Structures are given as C-alpha cells and as structure tokens.
Amino acid sequence: MSFGDIDQKINRLERLLEVSRFLGASLEIEELLQSIVNAASELSESESSALLMYEGETKLLKFVATTNEEKESIKRIRVPIENSLAGTVYNQRQSIVVRDARNDPRVSFEIQKVLGNAYSLIAVPMLFRGETIGVIETINKRNRLDYSNDDVNILETLASQAAVAVMSSLMLEEMRTAYQELEESERKKSDFIAIASHELRTPIGLILGHATTVYDGITDPNLKQQLEVIVRSATRLKKIVEDFSSIPGLQEGATPVFRKKVGISNLVSEVTASFKKQAHFKNITLKCNTPQQEFQVEGDREKLALVLSNLLENAVSYTNNNGHVYVTVERLSGYVKVSVIDNGIGIPAKDLPRIFDRFYQVEGHLRRRHGGMGLGLSVAKAMVEMHNGQIWVESVEGKGSNFSFLLPLKDAQATRPSKVPAFEPGSLV
Ligand code: ADP
C-alpha cells in the first residue's frame, strides 16, 4: 500500500469519526436520515445513495431518505422484500456488492429508474441488537471505478453507528408522543373532574339542607333514624366531591392557601371528636393525645382539618370492629408531628410506595368493601406539602398503620425548647 493510499484511508476514517459524532448529536429524525445518506455518498465516494426502512403497514421497504433531487417522488416508492436487492440485504443481514446492476434481476427496473443509471451498487444492513432496521444503498462509485472492500467496510461501520442514532431518535420521538398523549389525557381527566364535581355540588347541598331541616322538624324516632342515614350518606358524598374538586386546583398549583395562625392541638381534638359516632358504630376505641401546650403553625385551618379527617376516615374504615385508633400530637425540633395510629388491616409492603398516588387503592375499586375513590391520601399529601410539611406511613399488613405528618411550627415557637410527653397508648384521653 502506498503512502497516498494510507493517507486516503486515514482521511476517510477521520471523516467517518466526525460523521459518527454528528449522527450521535442530531436527534431530529428527518435531519438525521438525510445526514446518513449524505455521509454514505461522501464516504464511499458514490454518485448517490438512499436509505430504506421497513414499513409495518404495507410490509414493504420504503425510501426514507435519498441524495437524489427527486426526493418526494422517491419517498412514495415501495420496494418488495422478496427478490429485491434491499429486501435480500434486509432479510439476510449481510451486505451485497452489485458490480453489474443492469443485469442483476434484484435491481428492478423501477429501482433503476429511481436510482438513476445505476451500474454498480453497495447495499448494507443497518443492524440494531441483531435486527435489521434499514438498508443503506450507495450507487455508482465516482469516475466509474469499482467499489472496493474498504468501501463496504466503511459503509458497514457507518450503518451500525447510524442504526444506534436512528433508534435513539425514534425512541425519543415515541417518548415525546407518549408524553403529549399523557398530558392530553391528564387535561381531559382534570376537566371532567372539575365539571362533574361542580355539577354535583348544588344537588348534594340541597339534599343535605332539606334533610337537615326535615330532621329538625320531626319527632318520630323511626323517621329520624332514616333521615340520619340520608344525612350521613349525603355528607359522605359531599366529602368525595370536595376531594374531587380540590384535584384540578392542586395539579395546577392554583388552590389558594389562606394562612392564619392555627392551633394544632385544638384542631386535632375537634376533628377527632367529629369521628366519635363513626368509631362508636364499629365499637372502635378512638383516643386523642393532645398535650396541654398549644402548637401554632401558619396555615389554612380548613385544609389541615381535611388532612386529618382523611387520615381518620381511613383509619376508622380500615380497622375492624373492636379495634382502636389513636391520634397523637408531639413536638419535634421546629415541627409539630401528628400521627394517626390504628390496629386495622394494614397495607401490604408492595403497595406502600404508591399509597399517596391519586386514585390508588390497595384493592381494586370494584372488588373493595370500603367506599372511597382513592383520593383521600393524595389530597392529604398535597395539602401537607402546601404547608411545607411532610407526610408518610409505616404499616404492616394485618397489624395496623401509622400515618404521620410534620408541619413547621411558627417561627417564634420553633425556637423555644419544650418537652414533649412521650406517646403511651394507655395515657390517651
Ligand atoms: P380511599 O378513598 O380508597 O380510602 P385513600 O387515598 O384515602 O383512598 O387511600 C388509598 C388506599 O390506601 C385505600 O384504598 C386503602 O387501600 C389504603 N389505606 C389508606 N389508609 C389506610 C389504613 N389506615 N389502613 C389500611 N389501608 C389504608
């Protein structure tokens, strides 16, 4: 080999390296495919080149890029896999050099027309993880020279780099499309939730209002009992709608937080007391340990009450008859910690990571015995986080659960040291 030949070889390899780097960087598919055919022509010193890929719909090969000027009409042409040059390379995953294209039946008349006056060709497969994803064809070595083994080698190297780049680009495009579809379906879901909860609010309010008025006006204990069922059910429905309607706002970060000084011990006692009846109904011991000292946080009382009532609602629902539910309030440095502890059915370890996701339920919605939409915990989490707090759960299936949340104390209180009584179930009142 002469020095001139070695120089030329080095130049080609350097150019191949440059092209490979470029292919890795350009991820827009159209631009990438065009760069591949341009590089194929340049590196093999060919008059033109083309790239074909498999089209699932037609089960044929399709020209996806070419250096030929008639790009649009060429891209409309499909090539059969059987008996064509590109098809053979596609199936056999091996390169083919055609030295006399005009007498080779695999280079059909139509392709001759597309590729111009082809007299010699190289077709190489683009392999990705052992599968052919496309075929690169170069046509006519310049100056009517014959294609050499070096030409084949350099094209094969280019094809393998190109295959990786094309697959990355296609995957990225697929991901983008999937993400856009997801965003669209999230938007539709939010719109639906917003409309449905808005429409439900008024009739539920009317049912509750009228039922309460009738309840106050009658004395028959039997009727009173029946009306209690109506009021209880309508109240439950109201809560579901409230959880529902907080979702679109939570998602967009649009839910307003009306911050005021909130005494957590007082709030916890009040909300716990509102579950007395529900707990009594299942003979569940409901106790609340609130220290003498009040803990002040800066927050939205309504929202914080909703957090606790969602946790209590679950604790009572998912605890069997005769069980217990304890609520504790304690101070940690700079924070107040509220825990709702039950000895109920617990949560399987595999479900714990998703328990705060929207619409997540351990039992499928249709199989479950308990009501609810799988929203309570996600709403609670969003509300706690709005207050710069944290919420988490510790749970053992069959033994019980401990849901806790931390809220930052108001500045002055956060710095004042205080002793917190340790939690002892026996000391709860
Ligand atoms: P739901 O409306 O279904 O109660 P949540 O978001 O409040 O929705 O809770 C999600 C799921 O977490 C529930 O369906 C239930 O399976 C489980 N879960 C929540 N709290 C408890 C608990 N205290 N004990 C056992 N499982 C619970």
**One-letter amino acid identity for 23?**
L
- 355 CA to centre of ligand 1 in angstroms: 7
Q: How confident is the model at residue 371 (pLDDT cuts 50, 70, 90)?
A: low
Q: Which residues line ligand 1 (CB under 6 A)?
A: 310, 314-315, 318, 342, 344-347, 355, 360-362, 372-378, 401
Q: How confident is the model at residue 425 (pLDDT cuts 50, 70, 90)?
A: very low
Position 193 pLDDT exceeds 70: yes
- Output the pLDDT for position 279: 94
- Output the pLDDT for position 421: 37
* Crossing angle of helices 3-25 and 29-44, rounded to 10°: 180
Comparing 107 with 423, the larger pLDDT belongs to 107
Q: What is the mean pLDDT of residues 199-222?
A: 90
Residues 6+ apart with CB under 8 A from 270: 305
Position 248 pLDDT exceeds 60: no
Task: Take atom 23 of ligand 1 and give the residue whose Cα is closest.
Answer: 315
Q: What is the mean pLDDT of residues 276-281?
A: 91
* Range with the poorest average pLDDT among 107-121, 169-183, 242-256: 242-256
- Output the pLDDT for position 251: 56
Distance CA 365, CA 373 (A): 8
Give just the sign of the alpha carbon dihedral 37, 40, 45, 49. Answer: negative
Percentage of residues in the chain having pLDDT higher than 90: 52
Task: Take atom 2 of ligand 1 and give the residue whose Cα is closest.
Answer: 372
- 318 CA to centre of ligand 1 in angstroms: 7
- 407 CA to centre of ligand 1 in angstroms: 22
- Output the pLDDT for position 369: 62
Distance CA 279, CA 324 (A): 9
Residues 6+ apart with CB under 8 A from 271: 305, 308, 309, 312
Cα 262 to Cα 66, 340, 383, 407, 417, distances in angstroms: 70, 19, 15, 11, 19
Question: Which is the closest atom of ligand 1 to the Cα of 376?
Answer: 7
Partner residues linked to 262 by β-bridges: 297
Residue-wise pLDDT for 64-105, tens only, equals 999 988 888 888 889 999 989 999 999 999 999 998 888 888
Percentage of residues in the chain having pLDDT higher than 70: 87
Distance CA 39, CA 43 (A): 6
- Alpha-helix runs per DSSP H in 325-417: 376-386, 411-415
Distance CA 144, CA 117 (A): 12
* Range with the poorest average pLDDT among 235-239, 289-293, 361-365: 361-365
- 375 CA to centre of ligand 1 in angstroms: 9
Distance CA 19, CA 86 (A): 23
**One-letter amino acid identity for 8?**
Q
Report the candidate in 143, 123, 125 with the shortest Cα–Cα distance to residue 134: 125
Distance CA 314, CA 347 (A): 12
Among 319, 324, 361, 399, which is best to mutate for testing ligand 1, by the most ligand atoms less than 8 A from CB? Answer: 361
R_g of the chain, CA atoms, integer Å: 36
Distance CA 135, CA 61 (A): 9
- Output the pLDDT for position 10: 81
Q: How confident is the model at residue 427 (pLDDT cuts 50, 70, 90)?
A: very low
Question: Do residues 45 and 142 make contact, with C-beta atoms less than 8 angstroms apart?
Answer: yes
Question: Do residues 43 and 12 make contact, with C-beta atoms less than 8 angstroms apart?
Answer: yes
Report the candidate in 225, 254, 198, 201 with the shortest Cα–Cα distance to residue 382: 254
Q: Quick count: other Cβ atoms within 10 Å of Cβ 321?
A: 8
Q: What is the mean pLDDT of residues 231-242?
A: 84
Position 24 pLDDT exceeds 90: no
Query: Strand, coil or helix: what is 368?
Result: coil
**Mind giving me the DSSP string for 265-299?**
HHHHHHHHHTTHHHHHHTT-EEEEE--SS--EEEE
Residue-wise pLDDT for 128-151, tens only, equals 999 999 999 999 999 889 999 999
Question: Which is the closest atom of ligand 1 to the Cα of 400?
Answer: 24
Q: How confident is the model at residue 27 (pLDDT cuts 50, 70, 90)?
A: low
The structure tokens 């159209």 sit at 30
- Output the pLDDT for position 392: 97
Span between the terminal Cα atoms of the chain, in Å: 97
- Output the pLDDT for position 151: 94
* Range with the poorest average pLDDT among 251-265, 339-353, 411-425: 411-425
Q: Which helix (H) or strand (E) is 149 found in, with range?
A: helix 149-217
Among 236, 242, 314, which is best to mutate for testing ligand 1, by the most ligand atoms less than 8 A from CB? Answer: 314
Question: Which is the closest atom of ligand 1 to the Cα of 361?
Answer: 14
- Output the pLDDT for position 418: 42
Position 395 pLDDT exceeds 50: yes
Among 318, 358, 397, which is best to mutate for testing ligand 1, by the most ligand atoms less than 8 A from CB? Answer: 318
Residue 38, judged by CB atoms within 10 A of its CB (0-12, 13-18, 19+), counts as middle
Q: How confident is the model at residue 417 (pLDDT cuts 50, 70, 90)?
A: very low
Task: Take atom 21 of ligand 1 and give the residue whose Cα is closest.
Answer: 314
The structure tokens 């040291």 sit at 417
Task: Take atom 11 of ligand 1 and give the residue whose Cα is closest.
Answer: 361
Q: How confident is the model at residue 414 (pLDDT cuts 50, 70, 90)?
A: low
* Range with the poorest average pLDDT among 83-87, 250-254, 386-390: 250-254
Position 186 pLDDT exceeds 60: yes
- Counted residue by residue, the chain has a size of 429
Q: How confident is the model at residue 7 (pLDDT cuts 50, 70, 90)?
A: confident
Comparing 335 with 375, the larger pLDDT belongs to 335
Residue 284, judged by CB atoms within 10 A of its CB (0-12, 13-18, 19+), counts as buried
